[in-house]
Amino acid sequence: MHNSERRYVGCVYRYYGDRCEFYNPCWSSPCLHGATCLNLVVGSYQCQCQPHVSTWSSGRTRCLNLVVGSYQVSQPGRRVVPVSVSATCLNLVVGSYQCLCQRGYYGATCQLVDGCASYPCQNGASCTNTSATGSYECSCAAGYVGPTCAEYDPCSAGGPGARCIRNGGTCSPASSPGRVELYVCTCRPGFYGPDCSEFNPCSSAPCLNGATCLMLSGVQYTCTCAQGYDGQFCQRRAPCQQSPCRNGATCVETGDTFHCACPTGYYGNTCDQGNACLLATSELCMNGGTCRNTSDMNYVCQCRPGYFGTHCGAGYNPCAATADICSNGGTCYNTSTGNRFVCACAAGYYGDRCASFDPCSRQPCLNGAGCRKLTNTTYACDCASPMYGSNCQNFDFCDVGICQNGALSCQLINDQSTYLDVAALRNISVRYGHGIVADVRVVNSYRSGGQMIVIIAPG
C-alpha cells in the first residue's frame, strides 16, 4: 500500500491526519493503468502516469485508454473528445486541462490543422489560418504579391510604384534583369515626375494664340504671349504689341484694331510715308516757291510767277511773273534771262503792253474810204462819192445822176429799199468816174402829183 493510501486508526473513511483533518482523494484509486495517485492540496490529486501516458490533474477526470501515440480525455457528464495525434494533455486544476499540440495542429484539443505551421508565406509575410482544414492566407510585405508572397511587384500596394498609382498614374514593372524594384510610371495629363507626384498646370495648354506657358510652382503658371496678344491667357488681340507704327508714331488701340498718331512730316495708316516738304532740313523751293508733297518723300515746287525750274531757281520769266502783262490779248515774249520782254499786240492794239487801241487798224471804213482815229475807241470814215454811212457802206444813187431824161429830182428813200419785182421796168447800169461800177435795177415806179416816181436799188 502506498503511503498516500495509509489509513489512520480512528479516522473516518477517506480522511487522515493526527486529528483526521485531511481529505485523501486517492482513497478511491482514481488513477488507472498503473498510475500513481499523489495528494496535492485538500481535495485534489495528480496521477503520475506510466511512460507514454500523459499526466492529468483533475478531481474526477482520468487518463483513459492510453496507448503509445494516442489517448482520449474523458470528463464525467461529457462526451469523449478525440485528441490530435502526438498531442500532450496537461492536467491544470480540478476540472480543467490543456492540450499541448504538436506542430501543424492547434485548438483546445488540437483538432484544427495549422496551415501556417510550415511557414508558407515568404519574404516577411504574415500567415493567418482561414479554416480548420489547413487553409491559410498570407499578408504580404510591401512590394510582394502572390499566394505565398513569393513574387515581387514594385507596382503593388506598398511597393515603391504605389505612389504612382495613388497620384493617378499607371505603374508597369520594368524589365531589367536583377532589378526587380524598377518600374515605369505613366502619368495622367498634368502630372509628371518619377511617381507622378508633381503637377504641371501648363499641360492643359491654358495659354492661347501661340503663347508659351511657364510653370511657376504647384498650380501656378504664367503665359508669355506671342506678339500681337495680351491678357492672362493671351486671349486678347493687342495689335500695338507688334509695333506697327513707324517713324516714332504712337500706336493707339481701339478694341482689336489700332490707329497710328503720326509725328509731323509722316502720314499713312502706319506712318510709313514721309512728307518731304515737312521733313526737309533746308528750303527745297527757292525764290518763294511752294513745296507740294506728291507721294512718299517726293515733291514738286510750285514756283512764283516768273520763276521756273525744279526748285524755282533756274531763272526769271517776266512774261510768267504777271498775269496778262500784255493787255488786250497781247502775247508776251521773254527776250533775256532778266526781266525784259516784248508784247505782240492783237489787231487794233499797240503800245509796250498793248494798252492802246487804234480803231482804224481793223480797217472799218469800206469802199476805199479813209479812216481817222478820234479816240482809243472811236474813229471817222472819209467816204468817197457816191458812198456814205458810218463805214461808207451805203451807195448814193442820186449823187451819180441816176435819174435821166429830164427827171425833176432824185431822192433817196431808204438805204435798204424793199425790192419789188416789176417785170415791165428795165435794168440800168451806171459807171462812175472813180472806177466803181454799180449795177442797179428798177424795183418800182408810180405816178404821184403829176410826177413819175421810180424806185431803184442795187442790182
Does the pLDDT value for residue 410 go beyond 80? no
Q: What is the C-alpha separation between 454 and 413, in angstroms, rounded?
A: 11
Read off the C-alpha cell for 420: 419789188
Residue 275 has pLDDT above 60, yes or no: yes
pLDDT tier for residue 433 given thresholds of 50, 70 and 90: very low
* CA distances from residue 200 to 163, 219, 231 in whole angstroms, order as listed: 17, 7, 21
| pLDDT value, residue 177 | 59
Question: How many other C-beta atoms are found inside a 10 Å radius of the C-beta of residue 22?
Answer: 16
Residue 215 has pLDDT above 50, yes or no: yes
pLDDT at 143: 80
Asked whether residue 401 carries a pLDDT value surpassing 80, the answer given is: no
The alpha carbon dihedral of 274, 280, 284, 290 has a sign of: positive
The radius of gyration computed from the CA coordinates of the chain, to the nearest angstrom, equals: 78
Angle in degrees, CA 304, 305, 307, rounded to 5: 70
pLDDT for residue 192: 81
What does 170-239 look like in DSSP terms, one character per residue? EEEE---TT-TT-EEEEPPTTEESTTS-EE-GGGG----TTPEEEEEETTEEEEEPPTTEESTTS-EE-G
How many beta carbons lie within 10 A of that of residue 231, not counting itself? 15
Stretch 166-192: mean pLDDT, rounded?
78
Better-predicted residue by pLDDT, 160 or 355:
355
Question: All 3 cell numbers of residue 281?
Answer: 532740313
User: Residue 184 carries which side chain, given as an amino acid letter?
Assistant: V
Q: What span, in angstroms and rounded, lies between the C-alpha atoms of 94 and 75?
A: 11
Bridge partners (DSSP) of residue 97 are 91
* Cell numbers that stand for 346 in this block: 492783237
Mean pLDDT confidence for 277-290: 90
Residues 21-69 have pLDDT tens digits of 777 888 778 887 677 888 776 667 777 766 544 444 443 344 443 333 3
What percentage of the chain has pLDDT greater than the value 90?
19
Amino acid identity for residue 381 in this structure: C
Which of 88-92, 129-133, 163-167, 332-336 is modeled with the greatest confidence? 129-133
Q: Nine-digit cell at 309?
A: 525750274
Nearest Cα residue to 423 out of 438, 405, 404, 442: 442
pLDDT of residue 422: 30
* Helix H or strand E encompassing 99: strand 97-100
pTM above 0.85, yes or no: no
Distance CA 302, CA 305 (A): 9
More confident site: 412 or 6:
412
CA-wise closest residue to 396 among 420, 415, 417 = 415
Our CA angle for 140, 142, 148, nearest 5°, is 25
Domains in the chain, please, with CATH? 3-113 (no CATH), 358-395 (2.10.25.10), 401-458 (no CATH)
Reference 170, options 195, 152, 133; nearest CA is 195
Higher pLDDT, 382 or 204: 382
Q: What is the mean pLDDT of residues 192-213?
A: 87
CA-CA distance, 48 to 319, in Å (whole number)? 166
Residue reference for cell 487794233 = 348
DSSP state, 110?
Answer: S
Contact predicate 346/326, CB 8 Å: no
d(CA 270, CA 274): 11
User: What length is written for the chain?
Assistant: 459
Task: Take residue 54 and report the three cell numbers written for it.
Answer: 500523459
Residue 418 is predicted with a pLDDT of: 28
Give the chain's mean pLDDT: 76
**Range in 235-249, 302-316, 371-385 the model is least confident about:** 302-316
Give the model's pLDDT for residue 129: 92
SS3 content of the chain, % helix, strand, coil (to 5): 10, 35, 60
Q: Is the peptide bond before 76 cis (omega within 30 degrees of 0)?
A: no
| Predicted local distance difference test score (pLDDT) of residue 42 | 64
Q: Does residue 328 register a pLDDT over 60?
A: yes
**Is the Cβ–Cβ distance between 89 and 56 less than 8 Å?**
yes
Query: How distant, in Å, are the alpha carbons of 19, 257, 281, 396 from that of 232?
Result: 109, 19, 46, 112
| 111, 84 contact by CB (below 8 A) | yes
pLDDT in tens, 371-382: 998 888 889 999
Q: Is the model's pLDDT at 3 over the cut of 50? A: no
